[in-house]
Structure 1
Amino acid sequence: MSRWDGIEAFVAVVRLGTFSRAAASLKVSSSHVSRQVSQLEQQLGTPLLYRTTRQIRLTDGGAIYFEHCRALLDGFREAEDALNALQTQPQGRLALSCATTFGERFIAPLVNDFHCRYPQLDVHLHFTNRTVELIDEGFDVAIRMGVLKDSSLLARRLCDRREYVVGSPAYFQRMPAPHSLSELAHHNCLVGSRDSWLFQVDGRRREIKVSGNWRGNSGPALLDAARKGLGLAQLPDYYADEALARGDLVSVLDRYQFTDTAVWAVYPRHRQLSSKIRLLVDFLAQRLSE
């Protein structure tokens, strides 16, 4: 007898409470189940069950063995389910949240491409600059940027992200370009959604609190203010790249640029990742890395 046969029979007996119910679930006879459990006990050299005419109870050793065997069988079933999920088409509701500007420019077109590939999905896109609660608010995936905070969520790095401290040529005609972080105190710093800027000094993360006479929670508005010479701004690459290439903005303090930042997909920590989430995250990672 394969020990696995005995384990399956033993777990079924404990879960269902009787040999007859276990036999029915396994589609064999009660005597066959009883024989498998007895042979398993002989192989292990210890009793697993107390049998009476009225009930079945676990021995101390049986209770320990059951917990381990149950986890093993559950793991095998999850492995089979995961394999089956690979072979099935994703379907059902797929809800995704992302920051507004980045989501509209980069994520929405990719999700639409993904939807063309899997039209049976019911896609819900939600753009907001606040951090949503995935489980409480019913989202499957959120796209987040920068440095992730510790959480119970799983995260997949989709692509790198860089942040620049920038100012316009007109601004630097009035003010000397800063060469050290301490010089930021002498500049008008345009404040976005955070009043501290992130840097890297001697390989360590450092946040510098900044201030100025302009504040806003819109990336495009912050970009426009910097281009018009109102002050310095810290902007991610997807805002600053085109303006830097055209010469509308000039990057400073590059040697302090924080490098450990990225675009992430985060999703709840389920025991089995659904095919729709796995396929979407794989698709976004491939396309964004291009």
Structure 2
Amino acid sequence: MSHTAHIPSHRKPRRSASKLAVRAGVAGGVLSTLAMAGTASASPTAEPVAETTLEMPVLNLDLGADVSSAVTVAAENTRLAAVEGELTAQEESARTGAAAEAKKAKEDAQQKADAEKKAKQEADRKEAADRANRSSARSTLATASASDSGSGSKSTSGSGKSTAPSQGTGTVTAPATGSAAAIVNFARAQVGKAYVLGGTGPSSFDCSGLVGAAYRQAGITLPRMSQQQSTAGTSVSLSALQPGDILYWGSKGSAYHVAVYVGGGKFVGAQNSSTGIVERSLSYDKPTGAVRVL
């Protein structure tokens, strides 16, 4: 039977260097003692040697505990290093993610600002084009009105009736008595008709087109635009209005709207495309001022 049959593995366990050194020292001491004893017994003249018992020092080394403690410390250091490495990786990932989110938010904000800027530029361009179109249309109408002023006067007919002569632009004289009634009656007769920018009748009007058409019933030719109509006569107080006076909204000379005062605290005007031509109380939309042409 093999001497190692009782050992689970033929491979002997590794011994630590300290244990091997101690055992080597003990073995050396034993061999030295045996050699001395053999020499003494071989010499015939040697005296009998008294039997001596050597007591070997007992080594109380807790090597297992030291190794276990070292392994524990090493494992704890490894664990701490792994934890620190994981935390560092998480922090780096968080910083990277935050930087990416900040970059994306900045890009989104820039795109939104660019879109708003582009939309504003487009709106400004369209508004400028609309203003140019309106200005062109008004200039065309004003030119047409000026060219027609020569034909606005009515000559004496065979019946012997005559009307007031046409007045040049900006020079309006007082008409005959009763002209205010003709202006007011005409304005009220247009209530309910449509508002159309540039309209001068008979089916639709804009604000200055209605005022000009009403005054033509009295033989008076007014400037075409509301700005000039607001300076066509003498300024009067809103507390001393008379039927036929021209009401205006905005500054005199740059008014944006005009209407005809019809008495009783009311006016008739071509307000807008939604309401058309209406009769309203002054409290509905109080005018800025008034001028009297009659």
Tell me the TM-score range normalised by the shorter chain.
Answer: under 0.3
As a proportion of its length, which structure holds more strand?
A: 1
Larger gyration radius, structure 1 or structure 2? 2
TM-score by length of 1: 0.23
Higher RCO (CA < 8 A, seq sep 6+): 1
